[in-house]
Amino acid sequence: MEPIEVTGKTIEEAVQAGLSSLGLSKDQKDQVEIEVMDEGSRGFLGLVGFRHARVRMRAVHAGPSSTGSAVSSRTSASPEAGPPSDRGGQRRVSAGRVGALQSNIDENAVDKGALSHGAKFLEGLVSVMGLDAEVYESQVEDITMLEVEGKSLGVLIGRHGETLDSIQYLVNLAANRAVRASGEEERVRYVVDVAGYRKKREETLRAMAAEAADKVMGDRKKQVLEPMSALERRVVHMALKDVQGVVTHSEGREPYRRIVISPSD
């Protein structure tokens, strides 16, 4: 029988898909030869560089002394599962994984100077990802702003800022772990921006909100906006809170929660 090639997020997932294609059950795994063509990659933090595992499989007649499938591999490393998804489509990792990652990043971070824990973590993250960028830190009331400037930084932003939100979550998690480890009790809060994306996105959202509000007041019919993160929904709510003739509320469940703009009574 001619071999087939199948892919999956992991080798095991690819093998299961191949067994199904060959009309075999999981218990009949000993009736196939499996060659691992590519063990795949979970990518860095599950954010970039993800690659599916790929295997070649061929059905064979199981001998009476078969104890398992014949498996060959071109590499020896075992694949790892990516971090679990959090609501809102964001990618999150466990505290233990962040701790291991932080140790690795601290070894690669350079010129830390007097940067805060979160800034050091972000600087190391950017360095590990091989990006030509700098991290700038500033304080706005009780929030620490971290701005990344450089070239080709779209990979840090993602669709509608989803990757950026995930990175911001990791920075806050790692920084607060470090704060607790040092014996401090005060929680720190970071906002991460890349190439001024958040400011540009805020301007876009305000313009979108104003246009939708004008339409609502003209047609006297509600407008339902696209799904947004909690941070983006707050921008829209704040932009319209003092606009006469319209009211706003959010409805739906993450990651599909939307803002509804309705005519006021």
Residue pLDDT tens, the chain, 265 long: 678 888 887 888 888 888 888 888 888 888 888 888 887 766 544 444 556 788 888 888 654 444 444 444 443 333 333 333 343 333 333 334 444 445 544 444 434 456 788 999 999 888 888 888 999 999 888 889 999 999 889 999 988 788 898 899 999 998 898 888 888 778 889 999 999 999 899 999 999 999 999 999 999 999 999 988 888 899 999 999 999 999 999 999 887 889 999 999 7
Per the structure, the count of domains in the chain is 3
- For 255, the token pair is 């990651």
Same domain, 20 and 40: yes
pLDDT of residue 64: 46
Q: At what angle do helices 117-128 and 162-181 cross, to 10 degrees?
A: 130
Same domain, 102 and 158: yes
DSSP state at residue 153: -
Name the one residue in this structure whose structure tokens are 């950017």. 126
63 within some domain:
yes
Backbone dihedral region for residue 116 (phi beyond 0: left; psi -120 to 50: alpha; all else: beta): beta
pLDDT of residue 130: 86
- In one-letter notation, the amino acid at residue 84 is P
Can you give the CATH number for the domain in which 256 is found?
A: 3.30.1370.50
Same domain, 237 and 255: yes
- In one-letter notation, the amino acid at residue 143 is I
Asked if 11 and 39 touch (Cβ cutoff 8 Å), the reply is yes
79 within some domain:
no
Same domain, 189 and 92: yes
Quote the domain boundaries for residue 143.
87-195
Same domain, 170 and 212: no
Asked if 35 and 55 touch (Cβ cutoff 8 Å), the reply is yes
pLDDT of residue 41: 66
CB atoms within 10 A of CB 195: 18
78 within some domain:
no
Same domain, 171 and 218: no
Can you give the CATH number for the domain in which 110 is found?
A: 3.30.300.20
Asked if 133 and 148 touch (Cβ cutoff 8 Å), the reply is yes
Same domain, 217 and 184: no
pLDDT of residue 231: 83
Same domain, 120 and 165: yes
pLDDT of residue 63: 47
CB atoms within 10 A of CB 27: 8
Same domain, 10 and 47: yes
pLDDT of residue 265: 76
80 within some domain:
no
- Choose the final residue of a domain: 47, 73, 99: 73
Asked if 119 and 146 touch (Cβ cutoff 8 Å), the reply is yes
pLDDT of residue 216: 95
Same domain, 65 and 111: no
The span from the CA of 115 to the CA of 135, in Å, is 10
- Choose the final residue of a domain: 195, 223, 243: 195
- Choose the final residue of a domain: 162, 195, 228: 195
Same domain, 153 and 99: yes
